[in-house]
């Protein structure tokens, strides 16, 4: 056990976790997931929001087992290595809205940081613009952190508090498997409350068992190695440390090689799958996402893994993301391959204002 702890904490440990994601994300795409979306925490949470009827964009509704697996895989690792520590209470309302606005920013770009890396590895050069925006947003977040920004301390809570989010994941798994149809259309056809896309990205998915097993492994490895895209960029800027970055490079290089092998690499700015080429809003969408991730202490994947460890604050952030996805589609904020949604730019500006106000006002004298 001690040797495993040592390995996972080492540079080779985090590179292994990154390579695992980089190998299996393109394979998940090969086995049925949407293009350049083998894994995307934002898109997959958006699909879950749609499947639950929180938005009615018919092409992006599916309960993605990957999200379920990430949380439960992290829970298994945390319990096995005695790191399951139920905790919470660190400015939950702010965290909820950071999650909500992070999702809006990510859906203006069309992807979370992991999908940005996978899009890059698939030859979608718009990802470079998005990653630049992400880094810029994180840099702004670091300025706030260095000047005393904090959401305050979390405190220990009862075990049940830490188990609520994993239990929600198990309920989602049951919804995925049984897809209850309680409602009826005027024609009498069964419908809702669980909606699955009949066409579009939501209808494209790898077999459930395959997705779930891979995601459990990713959740396990990421919990052990602390894999975090936002943290990787943040640590390089903040303390000149490249430990987390090596995991991210592992993802990109492995995914690039896999895409070449699988014939999934296509280099261009235009006509990329589930992407648009509006550079300004690709950049600013990810500035918002990066800033929100930095202020909340982790990328969307990391927030799921922390939720599996019993971190109720991370679970609130993830819930905010799912609710944010509902708003993003219901209020025409999310982008489509045609470009930003009608209210996407305005919502990004509102989100940036929220984050900046939080950055300036949330502070506490540290001991």
Partner 1 sequence: MSQIIDARGLSCPQPVIAADRKMKELGRGVFEVLVDTETAKENIARLAQQSGWKIETKQEGGDIRLLLEKT
Is 238 a residue that touches partner 1 (CB under 8 A)? yes
- List the one residue from 156, 207, 270, 339 that touches partner 1 (CB under 8 A): 156
Considering the complex, what minimum distance in angstroms separates the CB of residue 217 from partner 1? 20
Is 157 a residue that touches partner 1 (CB under 8 A)? no
- List the one residue from 31, 128, 136, 150 that touches partner 1 (CB under 8 A): 150
Considering the complex, what minimum distance in angstroms separates the CB of residue 296 from partner 1? 7
Considering the complex, what minimum distance in angstroms separates the CB of residue 102 from partner 1? 15
Is 273 a residue that touches partner 1 (CB under 8 A)? no
Is 154 a residue that touches partner 1 (CB under 8 A)? yes
Stretch binding partner 1 (CB under 8 A), from 102-110, 127-135, 265-273, 292-300: 292-300
Which 3-state string (H, E, C) describes the chain?
CHHHHHHHCCHHHHHHHHHHHHHHHHHHHHCCCCCCCCCCHHHHHHHHHHHCCCCCCCCCCCCCHHHHHHHHHHHHHHHHCCCCCCEECCCHHHHHHHHHHHHHHHHHHCCCHHHHHHHHHCCECHHHHHHHHHHHHHHHHHHHHHCCECCCCCEECCHHHHHHHHHHHHHHHHHHHHCCEEEECCCCCEEEECCCCCCCHHHCCCCHHHHHHHHHHHHHHHHHHCCCHHHHHHHHHHHCCCHHHHHHHHHHHHHHHHHHHHCCCCCECCCCCCCCCCHHHHHHHHHHHHHHHHHHCCCHHHHHHHHHCCEHHHHHHHHHHHHHHHHHHHCCCCCECCECCCCHHHHHHHHHHHHHHHHHHCECCCC
Considering the complex, what minimum distance in angstroms separates the CB of residue 226 from partner 1? 5
Spatial CA neighbour of 130 closest among 272, 261, 314: 272
Considering the complex, what minimum distance in angstroms separates the CB of residue 101 from partner 1? 17
- List the one residue from 79, 174, 239, 357 that touches partner 1 (CB under 8 A): 239
Is 365 a residue that touches partner 1 (CB under 8 A)? no
Stretch binding partner 1 (CB under 8 A), from 30-38, 167-175, 234-242, 270-278: 234-242
Stretch binding partner 1 (CB under 8 A), from 57-65, 114-122, 142-150, 281-289: 142-150
Is 119 a residue that touches partner 1 (CB under 8 A)? no
Considering the complex, what minimum distance in angstroms separates the CB of residue 322 from partner 1? 20
Site residues for partner 1, 161-220, by CB under 8 A, read none
How many CB atoms lie under 10 A from the CB of residue 200? 15
Per rule CB under 8 A, count of chain residues that contact partner 1: 29
- List the one residue from 35, 55, 243, 329 that touches partner 1 (CB under 8 A): 243
What residues make contact with partner 1 under the rule CB under 8 A? 9, 83, 85, 87, 90, 145-146, 150-156, 226, 231, 234-235, 238-241, 243, 296-298, 313, 366-367
């Amino acid at each position: 056990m001690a040797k495993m702890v040592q390995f996972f904490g080492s540079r080779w440990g985090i590179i292994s976790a990154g390579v695992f994601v980089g190998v299996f994300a393109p394979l998940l795409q090969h086995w049925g997931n949407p293009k350049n979306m083998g894994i995307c925490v934002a898109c997959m949470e958006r699909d879950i929001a749609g499947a639950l009827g929180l938005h009615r964009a018919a092409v992006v509704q599916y309960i993605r087992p990957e999200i379920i697996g990430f949380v439960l895989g992290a829970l298994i690792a945390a319990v096995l290595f005695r790191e399951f520590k139920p905790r919470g209470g660190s400015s939950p309302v702010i965290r909820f809205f950071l999650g909500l606005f992070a999702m809006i920013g990510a859906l203006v770009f069309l992807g979370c940081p992991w999908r940005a890396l996978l899009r890059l590895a698939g030859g979608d050069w718009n990802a470079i613009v998005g990653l630049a925006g992400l880094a810029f947003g994180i840099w702004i977040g670091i300025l706030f952190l260095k000047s005393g920004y904090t959401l305050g301390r979390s405190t220990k809570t009862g075990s049940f508090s830490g188990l609520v989010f994993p239990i929600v994941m198990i309920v989602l798994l049951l919804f995925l498997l049984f897809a209850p149809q309680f409602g009826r259309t005027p024609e009498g056809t069964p419908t809702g409350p669980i909606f699955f896309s009949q066409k579009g990205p939501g209808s494209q998915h790898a077999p459930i068992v395959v997705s779930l097993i891979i995601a459990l492994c990713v959740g396990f490895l990421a919990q052990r190695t602390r894999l975090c895209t936002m943290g990787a960029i943040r640590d390089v800027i903040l303390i000149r440390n490249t430990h987390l970055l090596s995991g991210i490079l592992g993802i990109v290089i492995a995914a690039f090689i896999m895409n070449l092998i699988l014939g999934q690499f296509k280099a261009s700015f235009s006509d990329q799958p589930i992407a648009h080429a509006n550079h300004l809003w690709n950049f600013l969408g990810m500035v918002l996402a990066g800033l929100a991730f930095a202020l909340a202490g982790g990328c969307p994947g990391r927030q799921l893994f922390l939720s599996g460890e019993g971190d109720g604050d991370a679970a609130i952030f993830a819930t905010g993301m799912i609710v944010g996805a509902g708003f993003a589609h219901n209020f025409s904020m999310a982008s489509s391959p045609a470009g930003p949604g009608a209210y996407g730019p305005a919502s990004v500006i509102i989100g940036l204002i929220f984050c900046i106000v939080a950055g300036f006002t949330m502070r506490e004298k540290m001991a």
